[in-house]
Each structure stands twice: as structure tokens, then as C-alpha cells.
Amino acid sequence: MEQPDRQRIDKWLFFARIAKSRTLGGKLAAAGNVRVNREKIDQASFLIKPGDALTISLERRIVVLRVLGCGVRRGPAPEAQLLYEDITPKPAAADAAKPVPPQRDPGAGRPTKRDRRKIDRFRNSETDA
């Protein structure tokens, strides 16, 4: 089977396993969440070709892909990964400097289980005397 020169964006998103269905790929494109070569598209019928750069805004991240080929079918993941090259820039130094969880000074806040046992032992020793 011969690969087409150009392909609809909704079909390509489905074949490349970016969207779970062709309908969701079309909705992603129609909602304006896909840019082709920095141009925002609003149609699922937009035709892409190898060499195009796609910027896709997903729920929690932005993905930048270079189209390497047009798909013929929705195959397994290794086959789908041959359709694109991920050129998403690495996150800035924000991940390198992870925030330190807050520390509580001893004796501040709620007592721990160990503290509660010490308090119970102390109270029981007073009532025994």
C-alpha cells in the first residue's frame, strides 16, 4: 500500500496515537489546540505533509512534533512512533530545584503517635501514685 503525500490532521493524530479516536483528533484540531508550522488551525480537514511542525496543546502539557510520514493505519505504538519525531523542548530549571516539603518544629502542631503514648504514660503514672 502506498503512503499518501498529504493527510488530514484528524486521521494523522489518530494514526500517530496522539488522540484515542479520529473524532477526538478532529475535536482537538477544531478547538484550536493544534498549530501547524506556527499557524493555528480550526478544521479537522486541514492537510499536513511530512516536514510540518505540529504544536499540540494537550490537557497537561504541550507537545511539539515533526511529521515524518503519513499513516496508512492505526497500528501498534512502535509503528505509530515512526510517523513523528518529538522535538518538545525540555522543561526549564524549574524541575531541577524541586521545593522542599515544609518541616514542622518538634512540639508544634498535632502530637505524633509517639508523643501521644508518652502523654498517656505520664498521665497513667500520676493516677497510680
CB–CB of 79/17 below 8 Å? no
Question: Has residue 92 been placed in a domain?
Answer: no
Question: Is 72 a domain residue?
Answer: yes
* Tens of each residue's pLDDT in the chain, 129 residues: 677 799 999 999 999 999 999 999 999 999 999 999 999 999 999 999 999 999 999 998 999 999 999 999 999 999 999 999 999 998 766 556 677 777 777 767 788 899 889 989 998 887 776
Q: Is residue 70 part of a domain?
A: yes
Is residue 58 assigned to a domain? yes
SS3 breakdown of the chain: % helix, strand, coil, rounded to 5?
30, 20, 50
Note whether residue 123 is domain-resident.
no
Whole-prediction pTM: 0.70
Kindly state whether residue 95 falls inside one of the protein's structural domains.
no
Indicate which CATH number applies to the domain containing 67: 3.10.290.10
Find the domain containing 65 and state its range.
7-86
Give the three cell numbers for residue 84.
Answer: 513523528
Asked whether residue 29 is assigned to any structural domain, the reply reads: yes
| Total count of domains within the chain | 1
